[in-house]
Structure 1
Amino acid sequence: MAEPVPGTILGGARMTDRVVVPFEGAGAGAGGLTWGQRKVWTLMQQAGTSMSMGGAVPVTDGRTVQDLAAELRFFMCRYASMRARIRTGADGGPVQEVAGSGQAVLGIVDSADGADPDLAARELAERWEATPFDHAEEWPIRMAAVRSRGRVTHVVVTISHVATDGGGIAVMLRELGERDPATGQPAGPAPATGPLELAALQGAPSARRQNDVSLRHWERLLRAAGPRRFGPRVDRGEPRYRLGVFTSRALHLASRAVAARTGDSTSSVLLAGYALAVARLTGISPMLIQVVVSNRFRPGLAGVSHPLSVNGLFMVDTADATFDEVVDRTRRASALCSKHAYYDPAALDELRARIDRERGEVVETSCLFNDRRLDLGVEPPGQVPPSAQELADARAVSSLRWGKPFPTYLDKLMVQVGAAGDAVELEIQVDTHHVSADEVHALMLDLEAVVVAAALDPDTPTGLSAAQVEGMLARESS
């Protein structure tokens, strides 16, 4: 297969210079997509984007263009998914062709004297994010150096979601940092399970049995659930699809306190709070939520870079319980959700269509939760819980800000958990024709309130409103 070498235009953006980066690696061949890739590919086609990940990162350690070219070469040589092109197969479906060698290009953007290189880097990152990959002709990673007066100030990287996910990027960055400083060679052997190898394994009888078990879990919950998660659509004008970010130090402090007391992770605490808050918003319980699960805990998949995160199905009853009891229910339901989040997405689509036909209604599953933090272990016991005054002070600076709207969005509500220093950062993606911006704000305050109340008193009723929690904090602080 001939390897086209891009010119001064990379990913639709004009470069002032370039470095051609030759590479070679294992896992070459052609075959089908993995389950994770197929799920992402379908979502990408529906959304009309590459669902890319990456951005602009300042370079403050003196790395040069040659250093960044070496990093690009490391990614291309080590990870087969970075060397995969996706084309249409004989049956009309997608197939991937992994190259054993070829050339990539590190673009270079020179910021004009007196111009802001940070602005140039951000503009490039935004342009690349908005420009879908040509997966049949383009490698699924774009990388460029931004220079100012001859010095590298930023590196910009954009990777198509079909080539990796958040856990895969974490693997890549960790292994990049573990390279031998003298030779640049990786610290360990290359992953044995590339995308072609995993796609073959997922066609084996053992994987098909796992698929069948997972689908039985989905079927049981889908048949038990009511059809709706939210009310009917209300046209609230534009922008319809919005992105919000709720930043809360109070959630960070309170979730750690509850997790330490219950012997759980903060992820379980936040998922329990989310389920309870949405149940209170909608009046629907048990809550049915799609939870993003990384399958890297499965044997042989810990060091895999290509996408392994898929949606698991989670159901929890939030009624007639203390918050600690809801956390315990969440932990047990989450274990089942993760166990059964390994399946053929085409088979799941067939199952869901059959259940909808038999029920005579569509079972909506458009409420999602994704904890993107990497360190999600159980909190150690014996921690000193935060005082009421500390929690009140932290709540006073919680904030919700709205970002750039989406042109389209496939679900109705999704909350993604991240960390922002000593605060929890909740990214909310919402279809405001089903959940209004005001309801999102109330939901965030309610989520924060129930976790803060539980941090103060394990026997606090879960029905307390945000205003009642404020009063409780004021009384406890006085």
Structure 2
Amino acid sequence: MPLRLVSSNRFRAGLAGVICPVSQAGLCVIDTSGDFATVLRRTQGAALAAYKHASCNRLDLTRVIAGVVADRGPQFDLDVSLNDRRLGGSLQDVPRTERTTFAWTATQDAPSSALLLNVDGSDEAVAITMYLDSHFLAPAGGEALLWTMESTAVAAAATAAAIEPAVAAESAAAMTPGAAMTPGAVAVPATEPAGNSAVSTVTAAS
């Protein structure tokens, strides 16, 4: 599964104090075969490599993509990105809620990307903001994606707690854990948003 991970690039020499956007999205390819724990372990290494090698000349990248599209066809698309803004500190405080909430918050006619997920939060709560082009993914599909992300995380946490109690106890002694995610009622408009672009936010206790 190809995915682009947004890297700050601030770890690079000379960029730490630069006052301008220097973030870029690095290509991360994940082998999704096997169970969730196996995929998670693979993802860690793939993600670190993507963050490390995200820096590139954008003009060169555009030329490479154009060449691949010419060779393989217009279905080639790398416009699916994840921006985990919790790395190195949260940019946005996310208050803990008793139940997960979901809402479409805005629409516009000029989508900025096919699909982008921004992740904010801490050990207490996580907020995922989705930007999607409804020609790429229908709003109902975007909502289903967010709920699936939550249910997968909840199931994995429950399984880990059941089969690795010793590890869980050791981790609990080393850090202050949050409560388990609790799926909750969905708060959505009666109709799906119109236009080419939709923005949704789901906030989950973690």
Superposition TM-score, scaled by structure 2 size: 0.68
**1:169-197 CA deviation, whole Å, 9 max, x = no partner?**
xxxxxxxxxxxxxxxxxxxxxxxxxxxxx
Partner Cα separation in structure 2 for residue 304 and residue 360 of structure 1? 38
Unpaired stretches in structure 2, ≥5 consecutive residues: 90-95, 163-181, 184-206
Residue number in structure 2 paired with 1:357: 70
Instruction: Output the CA distance in 1 between the equivalents of 2:46 and 2:123.
Output: 29
Q: Relative to 1, partners in 2 of residues 1:422 and 1:396: Cα closer, same or farther, differing over 3 Å?
A: closer
Query: What is the CA distance between 1:459 and its match in structure 2?
Result: 9.6
**CA deviation after TM superposition for structure 1 residue 454, in Å:** 0.8
**Aligned partner (choices 61, 73, 79) of residue 366 of structure 1:** 79
The change in CA–CA distance for 1:450 and 1:421 in structure 2 (over 3 A counts) is closer
Q: Cα distance, 1:406 vs. partner? A: 2.2
Distance change in 2, residues 1:405/1:310 (3 Å):
same
- TM-aligned CA deviation for residue 427 of structure 1: 0.5
Q: SS at 2:106's partner residue?
A: coil
Post-superposition shift, 1:361? 4.1
AA partner of residue 11 (structure 2): F
* Cα deviations by residue, 1:338-371 (Å, 9 ceiling, x for unpaired): 2221111001111111122222444111211101
Indicate whether 1:290 and 2:25 are aligned.
no
How far has the Cα of 1:420 moved from its partner? 7.5
**Secondary structure at the residue paired with 1:365?**
coil
1:409 aligns with 2:111: yes
| Structure 1 equivalent of residue 196 of structure 2 | none
Equivalent position SS for 1:297? coil
Structure 1 runs (4+) greater than 4 angstroms displaced: none
Checking the alignment, whether the CA contact within 8 Å between 2:97 and 2:125 is kept in structure 1 is no
User: What is the alpha-carbon root mean square deviation over aligned residues?
Assistant: 2.6
1:437 to 2:139 alignment: yes
Instruction: Establish whether residue 449 from structure 1 lines up as the match of residue 151 from structure 2.
Output: yes
Contact 2:7 2:24 in 1 (8 A): yes
In the alignment, residue 427 of structure 1 is paired with which amino acid? Answer: T
Match of 2:47 in 1: 334
The CA deviation at 1:301 is: 2.0
Equivalent of 1:418, from 93, 107, 120? 120
Task: Note if 1:375 corresponds to 2:88.
Answer: yes
Greater helix content: 1
Tell me the equivalent position of 2:29.
315
Give the SS at the match of 1:306: coil
Equivalent-residue separation in structure 2 for 1:424 and 1:360 (angstroms): 37
Rg bigger for which structure? 1
Q: Is the 8 A contact 2:86 2:122 kept in 1?
A: no
Q: Which has the higher contact order (CA 8 A, sep 6+)?
A: 2
AA of the residue aligned to 1:330: T
Which whole-Å deviations, capped at 9, do the CAs of 1:40-63 have from their partners, x for residues lacking one? xxxxxxxxxxxxxxxxxxxxxxxx
1:362–1:404: structure 2 CA closer, same or farther, 3 Å change rule?
Answer: closer
Q: After TM superposition, give the deviation of residue 458 of structure 1 in Å.
A: 3.3
The secondary structure found in structure 2 opposite 1:457 is: helix
Q: What residue ranges of structure 1 are gaps of 5+ in the alignment?
A: 1-286, 377-393, 461-468, 471-478
Q: Is the 8 A contact 2:7 2:51 kept in 1?
A: yes
TM-score by length of 1: 0.31
% of aligned pairs identical? Answer: 31
Task: Output the CA distance in 2 between the equivalents of 1:428 and 1:458.
Answer: 28
SS, match of residue 458 in structure 1 = helix
Aligned length: 158
Matched residue, 1:305: 19
Report the secondary structure of 2:108's partner residue: coil
How much has 1:401 moved relative to structure 2?
1.1
- 1:39-118 matched pairs, under 5 angstroms: none
What whole-Å deviation, never above 9, does each CA across 1:414-437 have from its counterpart, x for those lacking one? 110012793100001111233222
CA 420–299 in structure 1, closer or farther in 2 if over 3 Å, else same: closer
Conserved? CA contact 2:31–2:39, under 8 Å: yes
